[in-house]
Amino acid sequence: MKEKLEYIGRVFEEGSGTIFMNWTCSGIRFEYSGRILMADLEAICGREVETDEHGKPLNKEFRKTWPYAAVFLDEAEEPFSVFEVNDRQKNYLLYASEETEKHIVTLIKLTENEKGKLGIRKIWGDGEISQPPERDTDLRMEFIGDSITCGFGNMTQERDRVYYADEQNGWLTYAALAGRMLNADVQFVSFSGIAVTRGLHEKLNLFHSMPELYPYTDRLIEEKEGKMQDFQKWDFKNHPRDIVVINLGTNDPVHIQENGEEEKGIALFEEEYYDFLKMIRTLNGNDTWIICTLGSMDYYLYDNIKKVAEKFAVNEHDERILTFKYGRIRVSEGYGAIAHPSLATHERMAGELVEFIRGIPGISRQRSIIN
């Protein structure tokens, strides 16, 4: 079966044969001719603490968070179905019709990596699965980010609480929207609450920083299964990106201020951001454009990001490093959970980024994107 599937994003193949699609909007694509299509799916639930509007735990109990998935037929922008995968192993109906029909089927994960893991054990039906036609895309893009890029609570309008898994929709984030506007092949590496600075996270005993995750296909699922080293490296050579968009730096100020050494914290952030740019450039090669962005919630470190990017461009003789600032959230657009961007803000952010990218000379692989 695997040889007939096209992988979308950073998909991890487990030794047992299960295909894990854990990053936002990661998934599979294939062609199917038949009446009934089923999938044997596996989920590993996430665990999180209920908090108040200030982020303080309401109790000591953990709640389970299960991943949500969506099925798309052909090139439709609206999903054929959206459903929760809420068991370690369970069969799900992906598609049904009275007559035999042929469709391109796309199955993606709507929720972020830490909201639960989603694995594919088997896909079957009364018809035939075959390789899909190649996608006619103009660009290959990657979005590296935090909760904003993940779509943290973008499906709710209650700003003073956290969100449930069904209130996060990666398909409607600024990144996914911009990708569709640019006819791009998009992949995500995003995690709510994540920062660039490694040292501060170690002091505060928090989760990984982005530089500790980025080189690998999915370090998080490997650690979930007990592996602590020699993680599977992502194959950058066979998955080249024309553009890498970084939207990090929103969470770093929180950790800088909590650590109580602001000047040292900012200096450490600049050092870590520079090193991360070097990592991205080394892994992706010299042809990739790197766009360092920030927004739309906090801009405390934007000037520092801009300074680092300009310094990197000069020191490394790199002409493909750019910076961009999204417009701040507008009250008229409403808010998602914990004052995160709403669907309206995500849509505006997508438009702003697309306009910026279209203004970069020679960035497209096909002329249609800049017409």
DSSP string, 12-64: EE-TTS-EE--STT-EEEEEEEEEEEEEEEEEE-EEEEEE-TTS-EEEEEEEE
Provide the residue type at 149 as one letter: T
Same fold, 2-130 and 139-370: no
Element (DSSP H or E) covering residue 8: strand 6-8
pLDDT score at 367: 37
Residue 60 has pLDDT above 70, yes or no: no
Instruction: Report how far apart the first and last C-alpha atoms of the chain are (Å, whole number).
Output: 39
Reported as a pLDDT band with limits 50, 70 and 90, residue 162 is: confident
Judge contact between 57 and 72, C-beta under 8 A. no
pLDDT at position 141 is: 98
Determine the average pLDDT of the residues in 281-285.
98
Backbone angles phi, psi at 192, to 5 degrees: -65, 135
pLDDT digits (tens, 9 = 90+) for 112-159: 998 899 999 999 999 999 999 999 999 999 999 999 999 999 999 999
Question: Could you report the per-residue pLDDT of 205-217, keeping only the tens digit for each?
Answer: 567 999 999 999 9
Confidence (pLDDT) at 49: 62
Per domain, the residue ranges of the chain are 2-130, 139-370
d(CA 185, CA 131): 17
Q: What is the pLDDT of residues 326-358, one digit of tens each?
A: 999 999 999 999 999 999 999 999 999 999 999
Cα separation, 69 vs 107, in Å, equals 7
Whole-model pTM?
0.94
Give the CATH fold of the 139-370 domain. Answer: Rossmann fold (3.40.50)
Superfamily of domain 2-130: Galactose-binding domain-like (2.60.120.260)
Residue 62, pLDDT score: 73
Model pLDDT for residues 80-114, shown as the tens digit of each residue: 999 999 999 999 999 999 999 999 999 999 999 98
Report yes or no: 306 and 323 within 8 Å, Cβ to Cβ. Answer: yes
172, 157, 125, 112: which is closest to 31 by C-alpha?
125
* CA separation for the pair 252, 306 (Å, rounded): 15
Q: What are phi and psi of 302, to 5 degrees?
A: -60, -45
Given a contact cutoff of 8 angstroms between Cβ atoms, the answer to whether 109 and 46 are in contact is: no
